[in-house]
Amino acid sequence: MAVLVASDLDRTLIYSSAALALTMPDARAPRLLCVEVHEARPLSYLTETAARLLTDLGDTSVFVPTTTRTRKQYQRINLPGPPPTYAICANGGHLLVDGVTDAEWHAGVQARLADECASLAEVREHLLRTADPAWVRKHRVAEDLFVYLVVERALLPDGWVKELAEWAEPRGWTVSLQGRKIYAVPKPLTKSAAVREVARRTGAQLTLAAGDSLLDADLLLAADRGWRPGHGELADTGWTAPAVCALPERGVLAGERILREFLDAARSA
Protein backbone atom coordinates (compact mmCIF):
# COMPACT_ATOMS: atom_id res chain seq x y z
CA MET A 1 0.00 0.00 0.00
CA ALA A 2 1.36 3.42 -0.97
CA VAL A 3 1.56 5.67 2.11
CA LEU A 4 1.73 9.46 1.99
CA VAL A 5 3.08 11.27 5.07
CA ALA A 6 2.30 15.00 5.13
CA SER A 7 3.82 16.82 8.09
CA ASP A 8 4.05 20.38 9.23
CA LEU A 9 7.65 21.38 10.01
CA ASP A 10 8.06 24.22 12.52
CA ARG A 11 7.21 23.18 16.08
CA THR A 12 6.09 19.80 14.78
CA LEU A 13 9.23 18.15 13.41
CA ILE A 14 11.82 20.94 13.66
CA TYR A 15 12.35 23.49 16.43
CA SER A 16 13.98 26.90 16.68
CA SER A 17 16.17 27.83 19.64
CA ALA A 18 13.21 29.66 21.18
CA ALA A 19 10.96 26.62 20.75
CA LEU A 20 13.62 24.34 22.23
CA ALA A 21 13.83 26.53 25.31
CA LEU A 22 10.17 25.87 26.10
CA THR A 23 10.62 22.21 26.95
CA MET A 24 14.28 21.20 26.63
CA PRO A 25 15.66 19.77 29.88
CA ASP A 26 19.17 20.81 30.86
CA ALA A 27 19.89 17.42 32.36
CA ARG A 28 20.04 14.50 29.90
CA ALA A 29 19.11 16.76 26.99
CA PRO A 30 18.94 14.85 23.69
CA ARG A 31 21.65 15.40 21.09
CA LEU A 32 20.53 17.80 18.37
CA LEU A 33 21.12 18.10 14.64
CA CYS A 34 20.94 21.54 13.02
CA VAL A 35 18.80 21.46 9.85
CA GLU A 36 18.56 25.17 9.04
CA VAL A 37 21.18 27.91 8.81
CA HIS A 38 20.47 31.48 7.71
CA GLU A 39 22.98 34.31 7.46
CA ALA A 40 25.58 32.08 9.13
CA ARG A 41 23.31 31.46 12.15
CA PRO A 42 21.86 28.06 13.08
CA LEU A 43 18.08 28.38 13.26
CA SER A 44 16.28 25.04 13.47
CA TYR A 45 16.97 21.63 14.94
CA LEU A 46 15.67 18.13 15.47
CA THR A 47 17.11 15.40 17.64
CA GLU A 48 19.60 12.93 16.21
CA THR A 49 17.07 10.19 16.94
CA ALA A 50 14.43 12.08 14.97
CA ALA A 51 16.90 12.43 12.09
CA ARG A 52 17.34 8.65 11.93
CA LEU A 53 13.59 8.10 12.07
CA LEU A 54 13.00 10.64 9.30
CA THR A 55 15.57 8.91 7.10
CA ASP A 56 13.79 5.58 7.62
CA LEU A 57 10.44 7.23 6.92
CA GLY A 58 11.68 8.63 3.62
CA ASP A 59 12.63 5.09 2.57
CA THR A 60 9.24 3.70 3.61
CA SER A 61 6.70 6.28 2.40
CA VAL A 62 6.12 9.35 0.26
CA PHE A 63 7.20 12.02 2.74
CA VAL A 64 5.84 15.49 1.95
CA PRO A 65 6.98 18.51 4.01
CA THR A 66 3.83 20.61 4.39
CA THR A 67 4.50 24.12 5.64
CA THR A 68 3.23 27.68 5.85
CA ARG A 69 6.77 28.84 5.08
CA THR A 70 7.48 30.59 1.80
CA ARG A 71 9.49 28.69 -0.80
CA LYS A 72 12.60 30.68 0.05
CA GLN A 73 12.22 29.93 3.77
CA TYR A 74 11.58 26.25 3.11
CA GLN A 75 14.61 25.89 0.86
CA ARG A 76 16.88 26.91 3.75
CA ILE A 77 16.00 23.63 5.48
CA ASN A 78 18.21 20.59 4.92
CA LEU A 79 16.26 17.60 6.21
CA PRO A 80 17.95 14.22 6.64
CA GLY A 81 16.90 11.35 4.43
CA PRO A 82 16.02 11.15 0.73
CA PRO A 83 15.17 14.55 -0.84
CA PRO A 84 11.35 14.77 -0.97
CA THR A 85 9.92 14.64 -4.48
CA TYR A 86 6.99 16.80 -3.35
CA ALA A 87 6.81 19.68 -0.90
CA ILE A 88 3.95 22.03 -0.04
CA CYS A 89 4.77 25.66 0.77
CA ALA A 90 2.84 28.84 1.57
CA ASN A 91 0.04 26.84 3.23
CA GLY A 92 -0.78 25.08 -0.03
CA GLY A 93 -0.19 28.01 -2.36
CA HIS A 94 2.83 26.35 -3.94
CA LEU A 95 3.30 22.68 -4.77
CA LEU A 96 6.96 21.93 -5.42
CA VAL A 97 7.95 18.98 -7.60
CA ASP A 98 11.66 18.21 -7.32
CA GLY A 99 12.10 21.70 -5.89
CA VAL A 100 10.29 23.51 -8.72
CA THR A 101 6.87 25.19 -8.45
CA ASP A 102 4.05 23.49 -10.31
CA ALA A 103 2.78 26.51 -12.26
CA GLU A 104 -0.59 24.97 -13.09
CA TRP A 105 -1.32 24.23 -9.43
CA HIS A 106 -0.37 27.76 -8.37
CA ALA A 107 -2.54 29.32 -11.10
CA GLY A 108 -5.51 27.30 -9.88
CA VAL A 109 -4.94 28.48 -6.31
CA GLN A 110 -4.81 32.12 -7.41
CA ALA A 111 -8.06 31.72 -9.35
CA ARG A 112 -9.85 30.27 -6.29
CA LEU A 113 -8.64 33.10 -4.08
CA ALA A 114 -9.82 35.73 -6.56
CA ASP A 115 -13.27 34.14 -6.74
CA GLU A 116 -13.91 33.26 -3.11
CA CYS A 117 -12.50 35.85 -0.71
CA ALA A 118 -11.52 39.46 -0.13
CA SER A 119 -8.29 40.66 -1.69
CA LEU A 120 -4.92 40.56 -0.02
CA ALA A 121 -4.71 44.33 -0.44
CA GLU A 122 -7.89 44.87 1.62
CA VAL A 123 -6.69 42.64 4.45
CA ARG A 124 -3.22 44.12 4.48
CA GLU A 125 -4.60 47.67 4.60
CA HIS A 126 -6.80 46.72 7.57
CA LEU A 127 -3.84 45.28 9.43
CA LEU A 128 -1.67 48.31 8.77
CA ARG A 129 -4.46 50.59 10.00
CA THR A 130 -5.40 48.69 13.16
CA ALA A 131 -2.16 47.11 14.42
CA ASP A 132 -0.21 49.31 16.84
CA PRO A 133 3.49 49.84 16.00
CA ALA A 134 4.12 49.68 19.76
CA TRP A 135 3.74 45.89 19.65
CA VAL A 136 4.25 45.04 15.95
CA ARG A 137 7.85 44.14 15.15
CA LYS A 138 7.46 43.07 11.52
CA HIS A 139 4.77 43.12 8.84
CA ARG A 140 5.18 40.56 6.05
CA VAL A 141 3.37 39.52 2.89
CA ALA A 142 4.12 35.90 1.98
CA GLU A 143 4.26 34.94 -1.70
CA ASP A 144 1.52 37.50 -2.47
CA LEU A 145 -0.91 35.01 -0.91
CA PHE A 146 -1.30 35.88 2.78
CA VAL A 147 0.01 38.25 5.42
CA TYR A 148 1.44 37.91 8.90
CA LEU A 149 2.65 40.09 11.75
CA VAL A 150 5.53 39.41 14.12
CA VAL A 151 4.47 40.86 17.46
CA GLU A 152 5.61 41.34 21.02
CA ARG A 153 3.24 38.95 22.78
CA ALA A 154 3.54 40.64 26.17
CA LEU A 155 2.28 43.91 24.67
CA LEU A 156 -0.45 42.44 22.46
CA PRO A 157 -3.83 43.77 23.72
CA ASP A 158 -6.32 41.22 25.02
CA GLY A 159 -9.02 40.59 22.45
CA TRP A 160 -7.21 42.11 19.46
CA VAL A 161 -6.70 38.79 17.68
CA LYS A 162 -10.34 37.84 18.31
CA GLU A 163 -11.52 41.16 16.87
CA LEU A 164 -9.34 40.62 13.81
CA ALA A 165 -10.75 37.12 13.35
CA GLU A 166 -14.32 38.42 13.55
CA TRP A 167 -13.52 41.06 10.92
CA ALA A 168 -11.83 38.52 8.64
CA GLU A 169 -14.43 35.73 8.88
CA PRO A 170 -17.12 37.22 6.56
CA ARG A 171 -14.39 38.21 4.11
CA GLY A 172 -13.28 34.61 3.69
CA TRP A 173 -10.08 34.78 5.73
CA THR A 174 -8.89 32.99 8.87
CA VAL A 175 -6.72 34.35 11.67
CA SER A 176 -4.22 32.32 13.67
CA LEU A 177 -1.83 33.20 16.50
CA GLN A 178 1.31 31.05 16.55
CA GLY A 179 4.06 32.01 18.93
CA ARG A 180 4.96 35.60 18.04
CA LYS A 181 3.21 35.52 14.67
CA ILE A 182 -0.35 36.49 13.77
CA TYR A 183 -1.38 35.00 10.42
CA ALA A 184 -4.22 36.16 8.20
CA VAL A 185 -4.79 33.50 5.53
CA PRO A 186 -7.54 33.09 2.89
CA LYS A 187 -9.85 30.19 3.68
CA PRO A 188 -9.38 28.51 0.25
CA LEU A 189 -5.60 28.45 0.83
CA THR A 190 -5.21 25.10 2.59
CA LYS A 191 -2.58 22.45 3.08
CA SER A 192 -5.21 19.71 2.70
CA ALA A 193 -6.05 20.64 -0.91
CA ALA A 194 -2.42 20.35 -1.94
CA VAL A 195 -2.00 17.07 -0.04
CA ARG A 196 -5.02 15.60 -1.83
CA GLU A 197 -3.38 16.53 -5.14
CA VAL A 198 -0.15 14.77 -4.16
CA ALA A 199 -2.15 11.71 -3.09
CA ARG A 200 -3.85 11.69 -6.50
CA ARG A 201 -0.53 11.91 -8.33
CA THR A 202 1.19 9.24 -6.27
CA GLY A 203 -1.74 6.87 -5.92
CA ALA A 204 -1.38 6.90 -2.14
CA GLN A 205 -4.03 4.82 -0.41
CA LEU A 206 -3.22 5.95 3.12
CA THR A 207 -2.48 9.52 4.24
CA LEU A 208 -0.84 10.30 7.58
CA ALA A 209 -0.43 13.85 8.90
CA ALA A 210 0.83 15.90 11.86
CA GLY A 211 0.70 19.54 12.89
CA ASP A 212 0.43 21.84 15.87
CA SER A 213 -1.38 24.98 14.73
CA LEU A 214 -4.83 26.09 13.64
CA LEU A 215 -3.53 26.19 10.06
CA ASP A 216 -2.89 22.44 10.36
CA ALA A 217 -6.43 21.52 11.42
CA ASP A 218 -7.71 21.03 7.86
CA LEU A 219 -4.66 18.87 7.09
CA LEU A 220 -5.31 16.63 10.10
CA LEU A 221 -9.00 16.33 9.28
CA ALA A 222 -8.24 15.33 5.68
CA ALA A 223 -5.80 12.56 6.68
CA ASP A 224 -6.71 8.96 7.44
CA ARG A 225 -4.71 9.28 10.68
CA GLY A 226 -3.25 12.34 12.35
CA TRP A 227 -1.18 13.38 15.36
CA ARG A 228 -0.72 16.66 17.18
CA PRO A 229 1.88 17.43 19.87
CA GLY A 230 1.11 18.50 23.42
CA HIS A 231 2.05 22.11 22.64
CA GLY A 232 0.85 24.67 20.12
CA GLU A 233 -2.39 26.35 19.20
CA LEU A 234 -4.36 23.11 18.77
CA ALA A 235 -3.25 21.78 22.15
CA ASP A 236 -3.91 25.11 23.86
CA THR A 237 -7.52 25.07 22.64
CA GLY A 238 -8.02 21.36 23.30
CA TRP A 239 -8.73 20.70 19.63
CA THR A 240 -9.06 17.10 18.54
CA ALA A 241 -10.92 14.89 16.06
CA PRO A 242 -11.85 11.19 15.86
CA ALA A 243 -8.87 10.18 13.71
CA VAL A 244 -6.40 12.51 15.43
CA CYS A 245 -4.24 11.43 18.37
CA ALA A 246 -3.38 14.16 20.89
CA LEU A 247 0.10 13.30 22.12
CA PRO A 248 1.31 14.22 25.63
CA GLU A 249 4.88 15.00 24.52
CA ARG A 250 5.87 18.63 24.16
CA GLY A 251 8.72 20.30 22.30
CA VAL A 252 11.46 18.52 20.39
CA LEU A 253 10.63 15.14 21.94
CA ALA A 254 7.16 15.41 20.41
CA GLY A 255 8.88 15.49 17.02
CA GLU A 256 10.51 12.15 17.83
CA ARG A 257 7.20 10.63 18.93
CA ILE A 258 5.40 11.84 15.79
CA LEU A 259 8.06 10.30 13.53
CA ARG A 260 7.83 7.00 15.42
CA GLU A 261 4.05 6.99 14.95
CA PHE A 262 4.44 7.76 11.24
CA LEU A 263 6.98 4.99 10.79
CA ASP A 264 4.96 2.39 12.69
CA ALA A 265 1.81 3.21 10.72
CA ALA A 266 3.63 3.19 7.37
CA ARG A 267 5.28 -0.15 8.08
CA SER A 268 2.02 -1.66 9.25
CA ALA A 269 0.35 -0.59 6.01
Distance CA 6, CA 20 (A): 23
- What does DSSP say about strands 206-210 and 181-186: parallel, antiparallel, or unpaired? unpaired
Residues 6+ apart with CB under 8 A from 12: 210, 211, 212, 216, 229, 232, 254, 255, 258
pLDDT tens, position by position, 140-184: 999 999 999 999 999 999 999 999 999 999 999 999 998 889 999
Domains detected in the chain: 3-110+189-268 (3.40.50.1000), 118-186 (3.30.1360)
Q: Is the pLDDT of residue 21 over 90?
A: no
Name the DSSP class of 49: H
Q: What is the pLDDT of residue 27?
A: 63
Q: What is the pLDDT of residue 20?
A: 84
pTM above 0.85, yes or no: yes
Question: What is the rounded (10 degree) CA torsion for 35, 137, 123, 109?
Answer: -10
- Mean pLDDT, residues 51-67 taken together: 96
Q: What is the pLDDT of residue 1?
A: 77
For residue 160, give the amino acid letter. Answer: W
Residues 6+ apart with CB under 8 A from 102: 94, 95, 96
pLDDT tens, position by position, 219-229: 999 999 999 99
CB atoms within 10 A of CB 155: 11
Residue closest to 195 by CA, chosen among 62, 80, 20, 11:
62
Q: Is the pLDDT of residue 63 over 70?
A: yes
CA triple 77-140-87, angle to 5 deg:
30
- Mean pLDDT, residues 11-23 taken together: 86
pLDDT tens, position by position, 73-126: 999 999 999 999 999 999 999 999 999 999 999 999 999 999 999 999 999 999
Q: What is the pLDDT of residue 29?
A: 77
Distance CA 204, CA 188 (A): 23
